[in-house]
Amino acid sequence: MLELAAAVWVFLAVTAGTVFLLLRFGGTRLRALDRLQALPPVVSEFLPSSTLMWQELVKWAGALVPATPKGLPLLKRRLMRAGFRNPQAVRFFYGARVCSTAILGPGALLLGLRLNVSSDHLFLLTAGATLAGFLAPSQYLSWCVARRKHAIEKALPNVLDLMVVCVESGLGLDQTVVQVAQELRVAHPELCGEFAMMNLEMRAGKRRVEALHNLSDRAGVEDLKRLVAVLVQTDRFGTSIAASLRGHADYLRVMARQRAEEQAAKLAVKLVFPIFFCVLPSLFVVTIGPVITRLVRDLFPMIEKM
């Protein structure tokens, strides 16, 4: 009996193991064949996202606004200096102005009616909100231009140091620009993007001097304009590029230090008004307040009794 029971248990164990192996590895070939077969085309309904719908709405609103030929070149230059290189950037700007004006003006009117504001204050509130909506895209564009200029000014000394290393290692100016744009595209994407655009212009057939002038016009940074002037003079007179770049990098660092010292010197004058209107009143309340309270509490009753 024991031998029969042992044989049964062995048979069951072998059967269970065989079934497990078949289930585990038996469908591998079928799954591989399924992966090799072409997937059937999946037809799904296109559902536009809210971001895409908003972009199309702004673009449509911008198309309704007629662009003034007088201010169009200046607007395109500001958009380019802010980093907006889309051909439809002008239309998006006008559309954003229309949408912000149409949202803030009626929104302020409804809010004033909800709060039961008087007619005079309601008119001022609506007019102020409408004006704010009209000026908001322009102010945002100015902020983007200033932020991009600051990033380029901050990146220039480091970029010049790498350019000096590349030039001294034997690379030409064109190859140096390409190498710098590749190496520092993560640390300084704004300036490297301008260098990449300059490289594309030279590949398209423009002369180096013209590409350098276009670089300074796109960025609108005075330090970069000086660098372009140095590179143009170096290319014209055949002087050493490495020495010119090193000297200009030192000049930029000296100028940055002088600007920081100038801002530090202006700090004392700028702190006069916050100290006079914010700190001194609280100081007077803390120091003279208890004395005045004690005079009112003790001295005035004594004077009345006399």
Mean pLDDT of 26-43: 54
- How is residue 191 written in tokens? 């300036």
pTM here is 0.67
pLDDT at 2 over 80: no
CA atoms of 250 and 226, how far apart (whole Å): 13
Banded pLDDT at 75 (limits 50, 70, 90) = confident
Question: What CATH fold (topology level) applies to the domain 149-267?
Answer: Receptor-associated Protein (1.20.81)
Give tens-digit pLDDT for 82-141: 888 888 888 888 888 888 888 888 888 898 888 888 888 888 889 999 999 889 999 999
Give tens-digit pLDDT for 195-239: 998 888 888 888 888 998 898 888 888 888 888 888 888 878 877
CA-based max dimension of the chain: 127
